[in-house]
Amino acid sequence: RWIIRHLFLYLAIVAGISVAVSILLARGELARAIEGFPLSTAAAVLSLSTLNYAIRFAKWDRLLADSSIRIPRGSSALIYFACLSMVVTPARLGELYKLVFLRRLHGISPSRSLPPLILERATDVLALAALCAAQPFAGPTRLAAVAGTALLLVGLGALLAAPVTRRPFILIAARLPLLRSRVDRIEDLIDGHAKLLVPRSLAPNLALSILAWWAECIGLWLICRGLGASLALGDATWIYATATLLGNLTFLPGGLGGTEVALKTFLQRVGVVGSTALGATLLVRGATLWFAVVLGLAVTLTGRKHLHWREVQADAAAES
């Protein structure tokens, strides 16, 4: 509740702590990385991050349409990009603001807007998992591994979408100690999301997610090249995807700490020198995570009137 009521202060504190820790622990590496980094490469990396957000917005818009939610695209974009600043809230729970925005601005109940919100995050996780499949392979086989994993995930979604075939999954969940007490909620959740799990919805949305996250994988590859490190694009793909997925699994704000440690460790594993690996880690996080926060804050502050920000913030605080 405190975070919701004082969102901007919270973001400033998290950003300040992150910058301070980065400077204290890696002042030399960060200075060398910034000093010799080509401006043209920096522009390309930020462009790839922007492409990531644009593609993921297209996916968000598709998920709303697949859920029979029709709102003006401009308003949809305003809501989506304003919520980019929420990526550093614990477990990204701040993205629940989207539910409040949709209800306050368009009268859409949370029961209708929750499925696209959950599938938005789920397809991001599934896309990262598919990109992780590139790790054990080399050359064109990596592309086949990613595509095969994506097809497998679409097939699993089709099974969960079909009333007859999803029943065994519910029975399995009922036998698991951690899920047994929540099996009724899980069944209701799957029932409510069935139409977003059918292949004609899940396949294109998963493809958009894979394309979006791969753009940021290319960003890591460009950063390493800009720092003079030799890194294969396939290695950059699985390293960024795996590190991001591991960071998300920590449920820490924005995966802070976990993602950075994983990125540096994996980069060193494929032969990137330690100081260069640390510099690349800090640069890629600045160009992805913190760029998203800045972009989200800019949209929020400039669009406060259209977003009915004070009313939405009060609603969110009241419901927390």
Nearest CA-CA partner of 132 in 123, 142, 141: 142
Q: 222 or 19: which carries more pLDDT confidence?
A: 222
Q: Which residues contact 102 (CB under 8 A, 6 or more apart)?
A: 69, 71, 79, 108, 113
Q: Which residue has the higher pLDDT, 24 or 247?
A: 247
Here the tokens at position 163 are 């009333």
Structural tokens at position 295: 């972009």
- Helix 110-132 to helix 140-161 angle (10° resolution) is 150
How far apart are the C-alpha atoms of 193 and 190, rounded to whole Å?
5
Helix (H, G, I), strand (E, B), or coil: what is residue 22?
helix
Q: What is the mean pLDDT of residues 250-262?
A: 86
Condensed to tens digits (0 to 9), the pLDDT of residues 189-218 reads: 777 788 899 999 999 999 999 999 999 999
Write down how long the chain is. Answer: 320
Confidence tier at 45 by pLDDT (50, 70, 90):
very high
Cα separation of the two ends of the chain: 6
What is the average per-residue pLDDT within 36-44? 91
Which run of H or E residues covers position 161?
A: helix 140-161
Split at pLDDT 50, 70, 90, the class of 96 is confident
pLDDT at 310: 87
The band of 188, judged by pLDDT with boundaries at 50, 70 and 90, is confident
Mean pLDDT of 66-83: 93
Q: Quote the pLDDT of residue 269.
A: 93
Is the confidence at residue 182, as pLDDT, over 80?
no
The gap from C-alpha 75 to its chain's centroid, in whole angstroms, comes to 21
**CA–centroid distance for 315 within its chain:** 25
Give 63: exposed, middle or buried? Use CB within 10 Å, 0-12, 13-18, 19+: buried
For the chain, the C-alpha Rg in angstroms (whole number) is 20
What's the pLDDT score for residue 116?
A: 93
Q: How far apart are CA 167 and CA 159, in angstroms?
A: 9
